[in-house]
């Protein structure tokens, strides 16, 4: 005798209603049978429901669909910004932070002033630059004078060479000091008021990822003030075990969902790079993929993702059914084939793969074809009704 399988609460209510409806119907239609006649035994793998029972059980019917089956590899990873989209902002000449109005997550534009740094050495650099400009004017005049004297053979050629060397040396000093001023964010000018403060400007447009300094803090040229990230060109960084690495190739399609997205919205992308090095400790390989969506505000650096990589070319068309059409009972899988209106027969099948997008690839018996009508929902309710009928 079959025993009733453990069913979840989602199926207990339809089953209870089916039992009640069946009891009422049998009471209303019950007629005394002749003592000499015996009712024919119903097949042990068939179940019959009337219209009300079908409605309560939520049974719907459909046909087997055939889809291209592809090899799939499930991996985990995260969304990351490429190196060119991640910038660490610092004060090149050091100083202390006089103003830092940044907050994590704030949007910044390229060239926008994001911090003010004060350093008394800024004044010295500006002073040296202006002094070199004055010396350069004198050296230029001296070079012209020596060139004229040599042309008239009044002075030796070594004096001209000395003047040329001095002029070129001052030119190099001028260019170096101008570069330091530009690096610090100071104006490069020969006159005007000198400033002990410089503005730090955003080199890219994006968002503030981290703020590493505080107002009033003294920082050196190697200490970060803030981190900026441009999220318009994120990539998916996946971690794949060493044994699965040979199955991967550039151009393969991936489908991924955000671990934080309860709705499970699916995003698409393609593999752009497969690392040729294996992590010696974790025995994994890094794989980079590019999402199809550009500048999606829902995709942020650091988010964890669950991805499926289509690692094999499409194979022959495989029969598939919705996950709700397949029941597991006593270690086997079954579907319910419609024999007539309200009459279903339980047929054993075999799962050919994992659930993909709510459908299950199956190996079906020869009797089930593309024209066969099956129960696409309510399969567990049919199973419960069948086993209860057999127990009676």
Q: Would the pLDDT of 140 be above 90?
A: yes
The residue ranges of every structural domain in the chain are: 9-68+317-391, 72-83+231-310, 87-228
Question: Domain 72-83+231-310 maps to which CATH number in 3.30.470.160, 3.30.1300.10, 2.40.30.170, 3.20.20.70?
Answer: 2.40.30.170
Q: How confident is the model at residue 322 (pLDDT cuts 50, 70, 90)?
A: confident
CATH topology of domain 9-68+317-391: 2.40.420
Q: How confident is the model at residue 178 (pLDDT cuts 50, 70, 90)?
A: very high
**Per-residue pLDDT reduced to its tens digit, 191-209:** 889 999 999 999 999 899 8
- Alpha-carbon distance 55 to 21, whole Å? 11
Q: Would the pLDDT of 4 be above 80?
A: no
Q: Would the pLDDT of 295 be above 80?
A: no
- Alpha-carbon distance 234 to 299, whole Å? 8
- Alpha-carbon distance 180 to 93, whole Å? 8
Instruction: Work out the angle between the directed axes of helices 379-391 and 9-29 (0-180°, nearest 10).
Output: 50
- Alpha-carbon distance 321 to 10, whole Å? 20
| Residue range 378-389: mean pLDDT, rounded | 80
**Per-residue pLDDT reduced to its tens digit, 325-340:** 898 888 888 988 888 8
pTM of the model: 0.54
> Measuring CA to CA, how many Å separate 363 from each of 85, 318, 357?
48, 8, 18
Average pLDDT, the chain: 82
Report the b/e string of 356-392 with b at 16+ CB within 10 A: beebbbbebeeebeeeeebbbbbbbbbbbbbbbbeee
Q: Would the pLDDT of 182 be above 80?
A: yes
Q: How confident is the model at residue 316 (pLDDT cuts 50, 70, 90)?
A: low
Range picked from 18-27, 126-135, 313-322 for highest mean pLDDT: 126-135
Comparison of pLDDT for 32 and 119, the residue scoring more: 119
- Alpha-carbon distance 378 to 205, whole Å? 53
| Residue range 42-68: mean pLDDT, rounded | 78
> In the CATH scheme, what is the code of domain 87-228?
2.40.50.100
| Residue range 22-38: mean pLDDT, rounded | 45
Q: Does residue 382 contact residue 47 with C-beta atoms inside 8 Å?
A: yes
- Alpha-carbon distance 142 to 375, whole Å? 101
- Alpha-carbon distance 15 to 12, whole Å? 5
């Amino acid at each position: 005798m079959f025993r009733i399988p453990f069913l979840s609460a989602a199926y207990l209510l339809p089953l209870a209603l089916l039992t009640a409806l069946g009891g009422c119907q049998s009471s209303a239609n019950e007629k005394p049978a002749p003592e000499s006649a015996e009712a024919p035994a119903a097949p042990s793998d068939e179940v019959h429901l009337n219209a009300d029972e079908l409605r309560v059980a939520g049974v719907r019917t459909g046909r087997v669909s055939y889809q291209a089956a592809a090899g799939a590899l499930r991996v985990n990873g995260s969304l990351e910004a490429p190196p060119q989209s991640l910038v660490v902002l610092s004060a090149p000449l050091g100083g202390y932070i006089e103003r830092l109005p940044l907050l994590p997550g704030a949007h910044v534009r390229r060239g926008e002033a994001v911090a003010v740094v004060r350093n008394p050495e800024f004044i010295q650099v500006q002073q040296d630059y202006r002094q070199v400009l004055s010396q350069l004017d004198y050296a230029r005049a001296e070079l012209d004078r020596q060139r004229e004297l040599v042309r008239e053979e009044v002075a030796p050629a070594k004096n001209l060479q000395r003047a040329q060397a001095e002029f070129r040396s001052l030119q190099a000093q001028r260019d170096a000091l101008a570069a330091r001023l530009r690096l610090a964010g100071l104006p490069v000018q020969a006159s005007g008021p000198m400033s002990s403060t410089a503005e730090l400007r955003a080199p890219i447009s994006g968002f503030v990822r981290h703020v590493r300094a505080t107002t009033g803090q003294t920082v050196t040229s190697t200490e970060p003030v803030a981190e900026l990230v441009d999220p318009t060109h994120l990539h998916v960084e996946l971690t794949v075990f060493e044994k699965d690495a040979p199955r991967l190739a550039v151009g393969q399609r991936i489908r991924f969902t955000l671990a934080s997205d309860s709705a499970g919205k699916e995003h698409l992308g393609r593999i752009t790079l497969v690392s040729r090095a294996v992590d010696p400790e974790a025995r994994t390989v890094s794989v980079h993929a590019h999402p199809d969506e550009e500048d999606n505000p829902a995709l942020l650096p650091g988010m964890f993702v669950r991805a499926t990589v289509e690692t094999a070319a499409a194979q022959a068309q495989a029969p598939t059914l919705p996950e709700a059409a397949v029941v597991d009972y006593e270690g086997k899988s079954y579907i319910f084939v419609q024999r007539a209106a309200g009459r279903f027969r339980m047929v054993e099948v075999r799962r050919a793969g994992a659930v993909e997008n709510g459908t299950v690839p199956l190996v079906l018996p020869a009797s089930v074809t593309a024209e066969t009508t099956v129960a696409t929902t309510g399969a567990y309710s049919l199973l419960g009704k069948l086993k209860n009928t057999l127990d009676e």
